[in-house]
A and B are shown apart, each in its own frame.
Chain A
Amino acid sequence: MTTDKDQYKVHAEPYYQAQGKEVQLYEAAYRNRLPVMVKGPTGCGKSRFVEYMAWKLNKPLITVACNEDMTASDLVGRYLLEANGTRWLDGPLTVAARIGAICYLDEIVEARQDTTVVIHPLTDHRRTLPLDKKGELINAHPDFQLVISYNPGYQSLMKDLKQSTKQRFTAFDFDYPDAALEATILAKETGLDEAIASKLVKIGQTARNLKGHGLDEGISTRLLVYAATLIKDGVDPLDACRMALVRPITDDADIRETLDHAIDATFS
């Protein structure tokens, strides 16, 4: 990976609507280089928030989407075989520590537990990253900060962060914004009329009420934005809602019918 800082910068201001004091609190955490964890259901604005903060602080942002096949070397780096020997290649975490970026590990619980422990030395007072295969100890750049996100909702017993990992972070708890705020977000993000936006929010809340009764997750703000985008583009609201809100989240016929009814009852 290259060490060109600029390519990791967020250049345009992402739209983010603060729900509380999270922006100030994040700034305080960054001032003191405390690691941050953002928790919350899918599509509620976690990644958008991190992106926004990187822009606001004018720091490079390196995002890693975690998955269960990811190994420690995918984060730290590995030796590549070449025709006449080997060559070391830094992983994203190492790059971030070297150049002083905000490293954002998205959906950290998806990664295996033996992978997550490599971040431990970076998250306490040491702020170092030992590359044991290479025999190098990196002292993190003063601007470096680690941010992880995780969704406490859908994980199973098997997928949870270890206490030793959890207790290295300060944390923000995100949730879907309240109805008025969410409608504003939809309107701002897509330019949709507020009245229709608040109807979309109403449908979203219908689905959130069904969480745990056949739905793993309610309709996220992200999906509401999709629906709003479609409506803005001239799609019939009923079709847009079915396509963007209902069909993606469920295959259960009863739930589908209930949500379809909610759409009919809301738009008419």
Chain B
Amino acid sequence: MMETEYQHPLMTAYWAQIDTHFKPVEAVFEDVMAEALAILTRDGINAYLEAARVIGKLGRGVEPMLAFLEEWPSAANALGEDALPEIMVVIHRMQKSPNSKAITPFLQTLAPVARRLHSQERMRDYFDITLDFMVRTTGSIHGHHTTFPSPGLPHFFAQAPFLLSQLSLMGLKNWVEYGIRNYSGHPERQTDYFTVQSADSRAVLQRERHGTLFMDVERKLDLYLRGLWQASEQLVPYSTAFDELRRPVPYFDKLGMRIPDVYDDAVDGEIHISGLDRYRATLAHMVGHRRWTTPLIADNWSPFQRMAVEFFEDSRVETLLCREYPGLKRIFLALHPRPLENACDPETTSCLRHRMAMLSRALLDPEHGYRDADLLTYVERFHALMAEGESNTPDIATLALSYVTKTRRQSDQYAKVHFDDTVVDYRDDNRQMWLFIEESDDEEMFEKEKKRTPSEEHTGLPPRHYPEWDYKSLTYRPDWVSVYEGLHPKGNPTDIDRLLEKHSALAKRLKRILDLLKPQDKVRIRYQEEGSELDLDVAIRSLIDFKGGANPDPRINMSHRTDGRDIAVMLLLDLSESLNEKAVGSEQTILELSQEAVTLLAWAVEQLGDAFAIAGFHSNTRHDVRYLHIKGYGERWGDDAKARLAAMQAAYSTRMGAAMRHAAHYLAARPADKKLMLVLTDGQPSDIDTHDEHLLIEDARRAVQELDRDGIFTYCISLDPKADDYVSNIFGRQYTVIDNIQRLPEKLPELFLALTK
């Protein structure tokens, strides 16, 4: 024990109790104890010091102890003192694992997290999430057991207060779960994810946020604008999640109305305003400005004057809005802050904002209860002005300026500004109200024109992003797969003609079946009271009934109905590397056999006249799925399409789900009655960046379900003799396994004909 100068014997006793030699602790000890003594009970103090002592002896330096001493009193205030043992358990478990480095960030964010969660039960859930996280990301790479600390955990603790401000505990759990599942084997990416740097981290965060998300209510808001206000403004959301320093404010300009991407519900005493109603209030306010506000020239007015004019004009616009829809008043009143009359001290603080907010409240709320004489006079003058009609911006500006002059105080110039309860968050920033003739230097300039640099030349189409189904969490991974599409390179079309000649006997046989299948255009409908022709059989029977004295059947006519064949077909070819293998018992590769089969099928479909497209796909990780058009719907089965088929090549892997979704978006656009997607593949879905072999199978299965929902019938022709294990998982009963690949050229067209008969 060093010679401390603690005068108070009690303080000396405390210092002895935590039993430490850390200098930095000594420097702050008196201050933290002062806070602790104010908050904790006597037992609590003892437990506090004992816990600090234990943490100090962990051998992790001074940092964890300092963090604990500083954070605990505040955390205890939120949670209750008896939460301490549980925290010590968590610390103990981190200490026993390789993650002891995470103890400091854990303790450092303890107080804000506790304040946010505010109950021991919820805190316990938070601990469960973190401990689960720790266990599952602590590395056992190459068989070393729990040797590597979890790369994401310290970052997670650092982000926890922010995350909890955006997410519910359930949302946090999902967000963490996603990160663990996708990045547990990749330390750098895991770090990116848990520092909320990577794109999908933000995307998942966005998805899990609490409150009313713009994307969920976008249509309702469009309808609201159109229905109630006859406006069809473009709505553009901005993100509120990542801009902590400067909160963006709603505004509108020529390009549309900018509104936040999420609104939490607001509660004002008894009144509960839903996020949707907050959006509506924001939009109504902007609509009001658009209708009734005319821009003013701002150059000769000070920022204070402009602020006053804005407050008055906002109130005028809201008065007019409430005239149109009286029910809006309830929402505005609940969202408008209620500044207390004596909240601001004009001797020390600039009270202009406070005065204006009070006035604004008073203009909106007849039961404001303020007693300031000037305020009451101006409320009266405002109402008198509005009683005459709609008034206008210049008149209201005159009133505002006179109010500012009348109530001006020296202290308005002070740097310390009273901000509490003065921000009306559904109002926009009024940028459209001002015209600046000269560039000013006291106001940031909005919408500076940016020079556009010509972007570099694009080659090919931009990628399309598709989600991928994650069966473990039962969620989609947003925009997970990038699909690039393009035309397949061309080869020599005569190769395909030669293949047709080779199978001419088979083609002849097919032709006979095709002729039978050709659509019969007319179908008879019998038993019609009114029809185009007399149905003799029925007419005679009726007559006999009639002559016999029975009641005759008057339905003696028949008519015709056209019954065309209206099918759109998409043939999706798996062009993965494995196609280059030789088929069992054959000199040809699977690729060549597929080529022959597709040739015959294309010929057959052309004969029938069905809409038909062919495309191939392969993938090289989720970032590069290639989708190659061989024949389009608008194209004839001519030399171009044949040339592309002739050049068919196989490489890379099989990410089936994304390719099917992409093909489906073409097929879905067809107007046909029946839509058929044939998938010709030789193996199970797989890709080199996916280690869980079930993942892509489940994704493909999900894709089949999506297609089914869109009215597309999917059918798989598998060339993998061992396919039975998984193919029924994906396609249900809609598949055929062709064991004898040599017979593929005749099987494929036959199968198609059987399917569409």
Contacts and interface: CB of A to CB of B under 8 A. Distances in A.
B219 interface: yes
A209 B222 CA distance: 12
Contacts of B529: 71
Interface string B228-253: 10100000000000000000000000
Interface string A208-246: 011001100000000000000000000000000000000
29 contacts: A71-B530, A81-B546, A81-B552, A83-B549, A206-B227, A207-B227, A209-B228, A209-B230, A210-B223, A210-B227, A213-B226, A214-B223, A254-B220, A254-B223, A255-B223, A257-B220, A257-B276, A258-B223, A259-B227, A261-B224, A261-B228, A261-B277, A265-B325, A265-B326, A266-B325, A266-B326, A267-B327, A268-B327, A268-B329
Among B222, B228, B277, B330, the one with the most A-chain Cβ atoms within 10 Å of its Cβ is: B228
A266 B280 CA distance: 14
Nearest first, the 5 closest Cβ-Cβ pairs linking A and B are: A265-B327, A265-B325, A268-B327, A258-B223, A206-B227
A251 interface: no
B328 interface: yes
Contacts of A258: 220, 223-224, 227-228
B275 to A, nearest CB: 13
A262 B228 contact: yes
Interface residues of A, number: 21
A122 to B, nearest CB: 21
Nearest to A209: B227
Interface of B: 219-220, 222-224, 226-228, 230, 276-277, 280, 325-330, 529-530, 546, 549, 552, 554
Given A71-B530, A206-B228, A213 B327 contact: no
Interface string A183-215: 000000000000000000000001101100110
Contact of A213 (B222, B330, B554): B222
B327 A209 contact: no
Contacts of B328: 265
Contact of B226 (A71, A210, A257, A266): A210
Contacts of B327: 264-268
Nearest to B551: A81
B530 A213 contact: no
Contacts of B546: 81
Contacts of A207: 227
Contacts of A267: 326-327
A187 B466 CA distance: 56
A268 B322 CA distance: 10
A116 B222 CA distance: 41
A71 B219 CA distance: 43
Contacts of A266: 325-327
B179 to A, nearest CB: 34
Nearest to B221: A258
Given A81-B552, A254-B219, A268 B326 contact: yes
Contact of A261 (B280, B326, B552): B280
Nearest to B330: A268
Q: Is the interface of A mostly helix, strand, loop or mixed?
A: helix
Contacts of A268: 326-327, 329-330
A267 B546 CA distance: 66
A207 B529 CA distance: 42
B291 to A, nearest CB: 15
Given A71-B530, A81-B546, A213-B222, A262 B227 contact: yes
Given A71-B530, A261-B280, A267-B327, A209 B226 contact: yes
Nearest to B554: A81
Contacts of B530: 71
Contacts of B224: 258, 261
B410 to A, nearest CB: 44
Contacts of B552: 81
A71 B329 CA distance: 57
Interface string A81-108: 1010000000000000000000000000
Nearest to B218: A254
A103 B359 CA distance: 67
A255 B227 CA distance: 9
A26 B503 CA distance: 76
Contacts of B226: 209-210, 213
Contacts of B554: 81
A257 B327 CA distance: 15
Nearest to A213: B226
Contacts of A206: 227-228
B328 to A, nearest CB: 5
Contacts of A264: 327
A209 B229 CA distance: 9
A81 B227 CA distance: 57
B144 to A, nearest CB: 55
Nearest to B530: A71
B228 A265 contact: yes
Nearest to B217: A254
Interface in A4-46: none
B713 to A, nearest CB: 27
Nearest to B549: A83
Contacts of A261: 224, 228, 277, 280
A65 B468 CA distance: 54
A255 B219 CA distance: 9
B471 to A, nearest CB: 30
Contacts of A257: 220, 276
Contacts of B280: 261
B263 to A, nearest CB: 15
A44 to B, nearest CB: 19
Nearest to B321: A265
Nearest to A253: B220
B136 to A, nearest CB: 40
A218 to B, nearest CB: 10
Contacts of A255: 223
Contacts of A214: 223
A15 to B, nearest CB: 29
A45 B564 CA distance: 43
B280 to A, nearest CB: 7
A265 B228 CA distance: 10
A268 B277 CA distance: 15
A254 B329 CA distance: 23
A36 B554 CA distance: 36
Nearest to B222: A213
B131 to A, nearest CB: 41
A214 B227 CA distance: 11
A71 B554 CA distance: 14
Interface in A92-138: none
Contacts of A265: 228, 325-328
A195 B222 CA distance: 29
Among A210, A255, A258, the one with the most B-chain Cβ atoms within 10 Å of its Cβ is: A258
A231 B654 CA distance: 65
A262 B226 CA distance: 12
B613 to A, nearest CB: 28
A69 to B, nearest CB: 9
